[in-house]
Copies of this chain bind each other. A is one copy, B any other.
Amino acid sequence: MSLCQAATLVAETLLPPAQVVKAGVAVHLRPQQRLGAGPSQDHVFVVRSGVVLLEAHPQREARQILDIYYRGDVIRSGGVPAIAGAGLVTATQAEVLRVPVSKLADVLNAEPESSRWLDCALARQYSRRLLHTAVIGSLAGEERVATLLVEFALRVGEPGYEGACTFELPLSRTEMADYLSLNADTLSRIMSRLRQANVIGTSGRGRAYTPSLAALCKLSPLAEAVTQLHRPAP
């Protein structure tokens, strides 16, 4: 099987096969560090830890975050559309594997296993893009925020008692706003409202928790789809 089945989104297919790892080099990055500055070289990056963002500046003074990459995700620097100011930035400390496209191509031709892994990763990420289109295209501000919080809770959260969940916020308020196509001010207002409604709590800038993940999900019409695409491997 070279195409990924919905049922095979498990841990073993998440990380790249050894041949791919051997073809690349590990890169350690601090928060807010740019990736793939050299546009001359077309690289593929595989996220091993941390969170990487794809950003662009379609307008003067306007930033848009187009994609969020988590552990196991694959990024092809040459596949970024020609939008002004497009580029990759880390949101948190991160470790990525950098593989030249030509070397990866060799591995793919030699190892069908690698093709299976790549197709699987790309299919997963394509689905997530479609879902995010639905989020920013059809949900109200509060619903968008709830959806992103559910995503974070599933991706980087530590479950607690009775459906409670503590999780890191890998993106700053401004970054979350740019991802959700909301104003940073508006996002702040929404977060305050959610806090007052006891749906979430925050501790410091980078962390949050929810007493009931189910309650948070009820605020997002697309929580079910998010859960399907971001739930940690069983």
Contact = CB atoms under 8 A, between A and B. Distances in A.
A104 B3 contact: yes
A109 interface: yes
Contacts of A118: 119
A137 to B, nearest CB: 4
A95 B58 CA distance: 35
B2 A225 contact: no
Nearest to A228: B82
B125 A76 contact: no
A86 to B, nearest CB: 9
B109 A2 contact: yes
A118 B2 CA distance: 11
A206 interface: no
A146 interface: no
A229 B3 contact: no
Nearest to A6: B78
A164 interface: no
Report which residue of A104, A133, A224 has the largest number of chain B beta carbons within 10 angstroms of its beta carbon: A133
A66 B130 CA distance: 6
A76 B229 CA distance: 16
A210 interface: no
Given A79-B123, A80-B127, A138 B3 contact: no
A62 interface: yes
A5 B181 CA distance: 30
Interface in A1-38: 1-3, 5-6
Interface of A: 1-3, 5-6, 42, 44, 54, 56, 58-59, 62, 64, 66-67, 76, 78-83, 101-102, 104-105, 108-109, 112, 115, 118-119, 122-123, 125-134, 136-139, 181, 221-222, 224-225, 228-229
- Across the A-B interface, the 3 shortest Cβ-Cβ residue pairs: A137-B181, A2-B108, A81-B131
